[in-house]
Amino acid sequence: MDIEYVLPQDIEARSMEIIEAELGEIILPEKVAPIVKRVIHTSADFEYARTLCFSEDAVSSALQALQQGATIVTDTNMGLMGINSAGVQQLGCQKYCFMADAEVAKKAKEKGTTRAMAAIDKACHITTPLIFAIGNAPTALLRLEEHIKCGRIKPALIIGVPVGFVNVVAAKERIMQCGVPFIVARGRKGGSPIAAAICNALIYMLTRKTK
């Protein structure tokens, strides 16, 4: 196979051209296309073009929240590091992962829960618009469902893309019934890089005017 020579600054644009071509007959709605393409760009997995599910208000709610200085809460430090810091700063937003927080570890031990659940409990006290980017822990989604149903929290967006086998599919399906904006990867696939990619796609919609 021949090598394609592409300037470093043009690699991303060329990758997006390839993705667009290989999507073939799949037509993505305009408002979600940048998100789906960024996820495919991150994973090289075209199945996401069919399995990523969006609530009707997901994109508009997320963009409004970001413009209002949202806080993005992730369930892994990998996801946290993958979210574009310059874009977050440009928008006046914040990003956090509470999984290594000493208070969270203590609360999880006392209550016999996972750290992911205790981290969600901590996030409930944040007063800015909230975007949750869950790429690892289905228990985080289940705790979010509990808080939402009890009226303790109403996120601007839940990104539900945990990867794995135990309770992953069920947790994703349940979060889509909570009445809050969501972007969910149906099935077992997902992961922290996917959660970060979705966040970045939303951020770039506001900070990269030509993209």
The CA distances from residue 130 to 61, 70, 71, 110, in Å, are: 10, 6, 5, 26
DSSP 8-state assignment for residue 26: -
Residue 147 known to be catalytic: no
* Calpha distance 179→149 (Å, rounded): 9
Give the span between the Cα atoms of 106 and 115, in whole angstroms: 9
Q: Are 104 and 98 in contact (CB under 8 A)?
A: yes
Q: If you ran DSSP here, which 8-state letter would residue 114 be given?
A: -
User: 16, 23, 33, 41: which one is catalytic?
Assistant: 41
Strand extents, DSSP E, the chain? 52-54, 71-74, 94-97, 130-134, 157-160, 182-185
Q: Which residues are catalytic, by number?
A: 41
